[in-house]
Amino acid sequence: MTKLSVNINKLATLRNSRGGNMPNLIKSAKDIESFGAQGITIHPRPDERHIRYKDAYYLKDIVTTEYNIEGNPIPKFVDMVLDIKPTQVTLVPDAEDAITSNAGWDTIKHKDFLADVIKTFKVNRIRTSIFVDADVKMVKGAAQTGTDRIELYTESFAKGFSEGKKTESIQSFIDAAKMANEMNLGINAGHDLSLDNIKFFKEHIPNLLEVSIGHALICESLYLGLENVVNMYLHRLK
């Protein structure tokens, strides 16, 4: 079964909008795990507009499943990850002013930089993953960095799926996944995956280990309820 890691950034955005502690991020993480999710994902950004760095530390002692911290490996981020030692760190090439992740790494151009960062994390026994586009060349490049996994950036698939182009939108992801399997890289995926498209994606990606879902899952929960939605994802990922 592909594991579901729930990204709780949007809950932090809602909390921050009023300056209080509602929704309570710690309780939310505990509840999401109790509903069956196999992981919690956070993506702190330098301006802390949703997840705050102190949230990352608080969650360290709360998350009992897999704890995945995503972000651009600037010095502050690297230091935080080394302090917390989560289950997994996912490296994402975010610009500081980006609203959300919008591209994977050029693993060829940035190979040496990524390799150095990954070596530091792996020495500390932290599993590493690199956010990449569904491009065979980028997957090959990722394998040269020493990373444990890749996370396929799935926005283009989600867009194509919504436009009725299922076959065309999935093919590059199938090719990338096959290459990752050949290179002994674990495969994660995330960005704009939803209840509508997750089953189709999972069925076509060989050896998909984990999906990280936040925005769609929280939006769907407004109508269907958080516990119900978590279990709907788990059912589709079986």
Q: Which residues are catalytic?
A: 43, 70, 191
Spatial CB neighbours of 94, under 8 Å, sequence gap ≥ 6: 45, 71, 72, 101
Q: Where are the alpha helices (DSSP H) in 71-154?
A: 75-84, 111-123, 136-143
H/E element, 186: strand 186-190
DSSP letter assigned to residue 153:
E
CA distances from 121 to 75, 108, 115, 147 (A): 13, 20, 10, 10
